Amino acid sequence: MGSLVGMALGYHMEQEIRQQPEVLASNAGRYLAELKQYLEGKSFDMVLLAARGSSDNAALFARYLIEIHLRIPVSLAAPSVITKHKSQIRYPKCLAVGISQSGAAPDVSEVIAYMKGQGHDTLAITNTAGSRLSSEADHTLLLETGIEKSIAATKTYSASLLALAQMVRAMGGELESIQLPDNDWLERVHDEALANSGHVVRSSPIFSLGRGYSYCTAVETALKLMECALIAAKSYSIADFHHGPKALANPATACILYGEVPDDLAATGATVISAPSADVGVWAPLWNIQFGQWLSLLAARARGIDPDRAQNLKKVTETL
């Protein structure tokens, strides 16, 4: 499908989805080189990841990569422990990573400032040079995706995934050879999303399910459906889905699956949407999220909603 003519609903979101192959390919080598310069030869007893929103979903991917390939425990920061409750946490030797596309998130910046003050190594991953987060961290990796005009994070999200994977490689993690999505893949997942967008619009609620490396994709897809198409969606680990939420699955609901479809899911009567898969190992989240992005954009258009101007949301969200 060619680019839409004129300012269609979600025009900027579509352009930014389509920019991802070029953005990722042009930055992959630089990310690794810069991160090696900062991290190579250093050792840590744990990694703390501080983020909100889509950046927090990218952090879920990093958690699996770090714990599996580096065997270092990871904590996903609860910023209010520091910003609201003023707790003086005693971390072991730690790498603290703040992830924020805008770099303006006050709570993420405060976590990084606290960790730096405690003598820990700190890293900012952001798309915004000169941001508050950059000023607080010892080292900044700029994503350099170009301006993202849509409210929805698309190219900044996939670039964050890539940066975090390259961070793991820079720290000594032996990942498979890098494989990045191309334009043919974008067209394939667009067509699959178009074929399934009607199910998403007609069903309620939507369950977005994944596990392991794919868990971040399930969580990010649910977020995109909510913010772009105003569709009630909830993400779960496939394992957790079986511990209660599956009771809600029925013919009025739909389940988006990233990964293997549980044998007993069809018996619930729920519509099962199996996301296209790419045989790319640990790099799958950089590919599979584009199905979720297209699905959200196409569902928004079907409902007459413009995801470039998401209801009740701003591009930069500041919380403490």
**Which phi and psi (to 5°) does residue 96 adopt?**
-105, 125
Q: What is the pLDDT of residue 316?
A: 52
Q: What is the pLDDT of residue 80?
A: 86
Mean pLDDT of 126-146: 96
Using the predicted structure, report yes or no on whether residue 199 has a pLDDT greater than 50: yes
Distance from C-alpha of 27 to C-alpha of 7, rounded to nearest angstrom = 28
Distance from C-alpha of 173 to C-alpha of 170, rounded to nearest angstrom = 7
Using the predicted structure, report yes or no on whether residue 18 has a pLDDT greater than 80: yes
Q: Where in the chain is the domain with CATH 3.40.50.10490?
A: 11-170, 183-309
Best CA proximity match to 98, nearest among 69, 56, 146? 56
CA pseudo-torsion sign 313, 287, 285, 207: positive
Average pLDDT, the chain: 93
pLDDT confidence band for 231 (50 / 70 / 90):
very high
Q: Of the segments 3-17, 81-95, 290-304, which one has the largest average pLDDT value?
A: 290-304
Using the predicted structure, report yes or no on whether residue 149 has a pLDDT greater than 60: yes
Interior CA angle at 204 toward 15 and 151, to 5°?
25
Using the predicted structure, report yes or no on whether residue 320 has a pLDDT greater than 60: no
Using the predicted structure, report yes or no on whether residue 111 has a pLDDT greater than 90: yes
Using the predicted structure, report yes or no on whether residue 174 has a pLDDT greater than 90: yes
pLDDT confidence band for 244 (50 / 70 / 90):
confident
Global confidence as pTM: 0.94
| CATH 3.40.50.10490 at 11-170, yes or no | yes
Mean pLDDT of 37-46: 96
Q: What is the pLDDT of residue 2?
A: 44
Q: What is the pLDDT of residue 3?
A: 45
Using the predicted structure, report yes or no on whether residue 315 has a pLDDT greater than 60: no
Distance from C-alpha of 240 to C-alpha of 183, rounded to nearest angstrom = 34
Domain spanning 183-309 has what CATH number? 3.40.50.10490
Q: What is the pLDDT of residue 317?
A: 52
